[in-house]
Amino acid sequence: TLYQDRWQIELDLRNIKTTLGMEILSCRTPAMAEKEIWIYLLAYNLIRLLMAQAALLADLLPRQLSFKHTLQLWLSWRRGDPGNYDDEKLGRLFILIAQQQVGKRPGRIEPRALKRRAKSFPLLIKHRHAAREEVRINGHPKKLK
């Protein structure tokens, strides 16, 4: 159904933002931010390609495999022997990827609401110039816990 398709899209966006670490872009210019987004999308597609190849070898659907597990395996595998890849090593990587399957998750229903993460500083809820003046007079506020 349409809702289940949307749920998969929500999971994909979560994987890009949270699992790959794209919640906050580190670039300062729009051109570099665009490049950073393309790099994250390239990394996402690389992980999905690894999952698709592992699923094909294990006769599974790619959605049955764990994105985070695949990412962690790929990162540790790259550190182990960089630049020295052959079919046998890739085959072993695909077997490891296919071993971690996600459970059956029928009928997922989640509210369309955003839960903010705790930040160490409060939100700026007044004009910036007024906040700057207050900092000059009273100093910086204490961090939230």
> Phi then psi for 29, rounded to 5 degrees?
-110, 150
End-to-end CA distance of the chain: 42
Quote the pTM value.
0.67
Q: What's the average model confidence in pLDDT over 135-144?
A: 78
Place of tokens 């919640």: 23
Which is more confident, 141 or 96? 96
Beta bridge pairs of residue 101: 65
CB atoms under 10 Å from CB of 33, counted, come to 13
Q: Chain-centre distance of CA 62, in angstroms?
A: 17
Confidence class for position 116, pLDDT limits 50, 70, 90: low
Q: What is the pLDDT of residues 45-70, one digit of tens each?
A: 999 999 999 999 999 999 889 999 99
Burial of 93 (0-12, 13-18, 19+ CB in 10 A): buried
Residue 19, φ and ψ in degrees, nearest 5:
-65, -40
Task: Please state which of the ranges 3-7, 77-81, 90-94 shows the lowest mean pLDDT.
Answer: 3-7
